[in-house]
Structure 1
Amino acid sequence: MSRGISRRALLGGVAGGLALAPTVAGPATARPYAAPGVREPYVPFAVGAGGGPAGTDRVRVLKVGADSAPTVLVMVPGMFGAANDFRLLARDLVAAVPGVQVWAFDRREENLADRSGFAGPDPVAYYLDGHYRAQDPAASAFAAHWGLARTLEDLDTVVRAASCGGRRRVVLGGHSWGATTAMAYAAWDFDGRPGHRGLAGLVLVDGGVRGAFDGTGAPVSDSPDEVRERLAAIDGGAVFDLTLSGVGLGARAESTQIWYQLAGWYAHHDPDGRSVLQPRMPEALRPSVPVTNAALLGALVDAGFGWPNDISVHSGHLSGSGEVRGWADEGITPLARVAEAYAGGPAPAVWEWYWPARLSVDLDVTDAYADTGLARSLGLRLRHGTGLDTPLYAFETSYARGTIVSSARRVVADSRIPYAAYATDEGMNHLDPLFAAEPHNTLTRTLTPFLAGLG
């Protein structure tokens, strides 16, 4: 979801945690899945060998809109994000812009998650009682090599499929570090072919390069010394990024993501029922009064409860004065929309369980957006940044305090980009653009004319 949650903000604001105790095994068995109706299929694509367990040499795409659309917007989720981040936004965009289809990209890491428990009637026991299949870091040395080069090769498979041999326009974008990934793709050298050559536009949502995240107070960690230390930790077995463990919902790579999907699942299926999860939450995070399933999700996602900008929305507040408190919407992002997205299913989901630590290193180094010696030493082929010649759209919330747009302007000034559009909504937090109601979503309103103009 976020580029990189501030460890300082999380660890200073919450404490405690409940470690999940899963059964360690291989990747979950793939299940075919399609959203209701034929217009939102979840489609697999075979990609190159990555050294992982059987079944992991594939990526998937959630498709929203008609296959006959002449323009495809391919969206890449941010850190810990997954394809269902974009389902609601995609529906709004497809309804607003005739001739556009949206493809939401899921990285190969999604094959490691066991989401089968969400196909049943009551997933809490499957996950919180430790019956799910987890990916053991000690058996995951392959993930040390799942960095940006691997991700971009996989993404190239999807972009070229979307192009349909050049018969469709492809616009590439992303949210947070997904926007950074899109920019890296545009500058990447694919054996002599610049990535941007096959693109009709770039869409950056609260992310990017060239100092995009400076305003967050947690700038990128990309000095040579920092990179060496991080690579040494990965070589020592720390192959998955554990930043989300700072939330306080468990110490494993996947713990927090499971809790959030559980909260969304119960809030979506039984919003007014008494919270199933509240009695099992770590005491430090447990609401002090009995709440409904919807209210518990609200307590985990609403900015009013003190969560960092990275992982919060503007939704509402606890309501009622009875024995069990409910939830009242008053913000731009109705909780029911968050619940629908977070609930997911066996697939696709909002939260990625196993984010490779190597991918974090590579994306930090990509911020310079130049063919530096450090980038080359990591195998990052960022050779075509100054040659970008595709229109660009950049949107920022309050998250980075203005540096998303200012960094995008620097990219435009130092390239051949013919024109750009910029939009800002300081009333939004980092996740609001993904889930906000369409009438209140500045991203939808400002991205719509940009996409329409590409035709």
Structure 2
Amino acid sequence: MGISSVGTLQAPLAEAQPFVGAEPLADRIETDVAGSALTPDGVRASYVSFSDPLPLSSGPRPAECDRLGYLRFRSLQGPDDPAEANSVFVTMPGYVEGAGAVEPMARNIVRTADLGGQHVEVWVLDRRSNCLEDHRGLLAAQATRDPNSAADYYTKGAPLDGATYAGERPATDTEFLRTVGLKQTLNDQFAVMRQLPPAYRKTQVMCGGHSLGGLTTGAFANWDFDGTPGHEQCAGYFVLDSRMDVTGADPLRLAGLVGDILPAGIAGTLQPANDLLPFLPATQPLFTSVASMLTAAHIAPDATSTILPGLPTDLITQAAARAVSARDYLDFALGQPDLHTRQFTNSAALGLLLDDNSMPLGYGRVSIGTFDTPVEAKSFPAPYGMPSQLIGIFGGNKFVSPMPASGRVGWTNYDRVPAVGARTIAGDTYTTPGSEVTDLGDFARAWANPVADGFEWYFPTRLLTEILAANTGDRNGDLAKLRYDVTPTSKVIYLDGGDSGFSGGLDSLGRTSVVTGTRVVAEGYNHLDVIAASWHQNKGGPEVISDSLIDFLNNQVLRSAVTE
């Protein structure tokens, strides 16, 4: 929850007290999330926060960063006490993901359980660094229903409530992030879970995560919480387009290099870099611009975008814009097509940025439909139709670009793609209804949620380097807490995106435990679809991620707990 996010929360719920049999948490507050709390799907969304100060050694930080929070999803017909639910799914978001990113999947899980007469909850952790985000622009857009108010605040200097956007937080506010690595992140997760009685955690809680959150989940299971094993806090695990472990991996392979030249204590070796850059630098213009585009696509999807032509001129944002719009390397170098003059609707602008036939980076793709104008094949940054490369980061999809001079570019939502598929001007089919699985409007609403949005604007670099170090075998310093090796024998379900390539890429880096778990491949799903797919699917039948999770819960976890 960032600056002023409290403005979108309703009055605290009456049951916002420590639950029976659980450890009491200091100053626990639970509030319904305005705009998404009571929806026709029968799922209630609320935000829970409590006081959990960082150690004194973390140094100075804003007061709001001494609180933890998470999004809580549950059935309107379910119990108030989560320990009376059939299960709680504790979910860790992925790389640079905020809790809002997982909202569509969370709702689907609750609905699927309801259909079977069960009540489950989904808790999506809002990592501590999200305390630094300034959500005033997102709040204003939600309150006024003005699709441009967020961008006006973040990129044009428009004041809100007497304040103007200050850009990146000063070093005095962010230096504490150098201490927020794997240990602090896992301690934060455990602090959230301690609301539930120990016996309940061991027999009914599902622990899991998406992308980087899958590897974090593996670390949680193998972590020693001062004599309390992490694997005794979860009855089962779910891993979303990722893996729980990559034994023997060499991070240099991420860059296509090979060699045994890494120091034994890689985490400690990289810590000076984390101290210098405690979060991803110079990314605020990009994050705020995309957040503004998400808001506009949610509020006014068919209106002409004024955000795309006015993107910030910083190097990272402009490079990202060129990467998704350029047809070839020459276009990229020349900055063509000119997004200042080409008209896109708000939904088409979002599709240009994130759709799986436009976004070049595999971990940022979602299948939300296609352009409604003629398109041609792209050869930038990878040849058209190139197989997935570099752990699913590049290639793997057919990338297209709207034809020049084809008028204003609009968007065809995922459930309106022609039955025969969408074709380039050369006649090649680049997408079909079966590979379009996510509703653009629902995706935009969830990721632009001003209480807990879909991005982590200040992702701590230490968390990334320590997860990579842990999977090379580093057990020095804080990583000495990784004392167990229970992943191969745990009850785990791996849910992979069929069009992703990310999880398969992790398999290629080293030895993983996927062969000892249950694996489900969601055909047509890209990396973000695994957490964002819609309840209604073009192929008919149930949504595969939520359906598989509830089936695994009942047949592999709860049934086993009864017989053990």
- Give the shorter-chain TM-score range: 0.7 to 0.9
Is contact 1:41–1:62 with CA below 8 Å preserved after alignment?
A: yes
* Aligned CA distance change for structure 1 residues 48 and 411 (closer, same or farther; 3 Å): farther
> What displacement does 1:266 show?
0.2
Residue of structure 2 equivalent to 1:28: 3
Counterpart AA for 1:174: G
Q: Max radius of gyration: which structure?
A: 2
Is contact 1:172–1:182 with CA below 8 Å preserved after alignment?
A: yes
* Aligned CA distance change for structure 1 residues 234 and 216 (closer, same or farther; 3 Å): closer
Residue of structure 1 equivalent to 2:449: 344
Mapped to 1, the partners of 2:503 and 2:52 lie a distance apart of 38
Mapped to 2, the partners of 1:119 and 1:268 lie a distance apart of 13
Residue of structure 1 equivalent to 2:49: 44
For structure 1, list consecutive stretches of 5 or more residues without a partner in the other structure.
1-26, 243-251, 414-418
Tell me the secondary structure at the aligned position of residue 40 of structure 1.
strand
String of CA shifts for 1:10-39, please: whole Å, max 9, x gaps: xxxxxxxxxxxxxxxxx7245152334362
Range with bigger deviation, 438-447 or 311-320: 438-447
Residue of structure 2 equivalent to 1:448: 550
Residue of structure 1 equivalent to 2:133: 113
The partner residue of 1:218 within 251, 254, 266 is 254
Task: State the superposition RMSD in angstroms.
Answer: 3.0
Residue of structure 2 equivalent to 1:276: 306
Residue of structure 1 equivalent to 2:107: 91
Tell me the secondary structure at the aligned position of residue 525 of structure 2.
coil
Is contact 1:241–1:354 with CA below 8 Å preserved after alignment?
A: yes
Is contact 2:221–2:486 with CA below 8 Å preserved after alignment?
A: no
Counterpart AA for 2:64: G
Q: Does 1:291 find its partner at 2:396?
A: no
The partner residue of 2:66 within 49, 57, 62 is 57
Mapped to 2, the partners of 1:290 and 1:117 lie a distance apart of 24
Residue of structure 2 equivalent to 1:437: 534
Mapped to 2, the partners of 1:75 and 1:40 lie a distance apart of 15
The partner residue of 1:231 within 271, 277, 296 is 271
The partner residue of 1:309 within 340, 349, 362 is 362
Is contact 2:352–2:359 with CA below 8 Å preserved after alignment?
A: no
Summarize the alignment of residues 101-180 of structure 1 with structure 2, pairs less than 5 Å apart: 101-120=121-140, 121=144, 122-130=149-157, 131-133=164-166, 134-137=168-171, 139-161=173-195, 163-167=196-200, 169-180=204-215
> What displacement does 1:337 show?
2.4
Is contact 1:78–1:178 with CA below 8 Å preserved after alignment?
A: yes
Residue of structure 2 equivalent to 1:359: 463
Q: Does 1:334 find its partner at 2:439?
A: yes
Is contact 1:199–1:390 with CA below 8 Å preserved after alignment?
A: no
* Aligned CA distance change for structure 1 residues 420 and 406 (closer, same or farther; 3 Å): farther
Residue of structure 2 equivalent to 1:411: 513
String of CA shifts for 1:232-255, please: whole Å, max 9, x gaps: 2223x211124xxxxxxxxx2323
Mapped to 2, the partners of 1:220 and 1:104 lie a distance apart of 33
Is contact 1:82–1:348 with CA below 8 Å preserved after alignment?
A: yes
Mapped to 2, the partners of 1:191 and 1:83 lie a distance apart of 27
For structure 2, list consecutive stretches of 5 or more residues without a partner in the other structure.
10-31, 39-43, 158-163, 312-317, 326-337, 375-405, 418-435, 538-542, 559-564
Structure with greater contact order relative to length (CA < 8 Å, sep ≥ 6): 1
Counterpart AA for 2:215: T
Q: Taking structure 1 as the reference length, what is the TM-score of the superposition? A: 0.81
> What displacement does 1:448 show?
2.4
String of CA shifts for 1:66-94, please: whole Å, max 9, x gaps: 44423100100011011111111111111
Residue of structure 1 equivalent to 2:493: 393
Percent of residue pairs bearing the same amino acid type:
27
Q: Taking structure 2 as the reference length, what is the TM-score of the superposition? A: 0.66
Q: Does 1:194 find its partner at 2:232?
A: no
Counterpart AA for 1:238: L
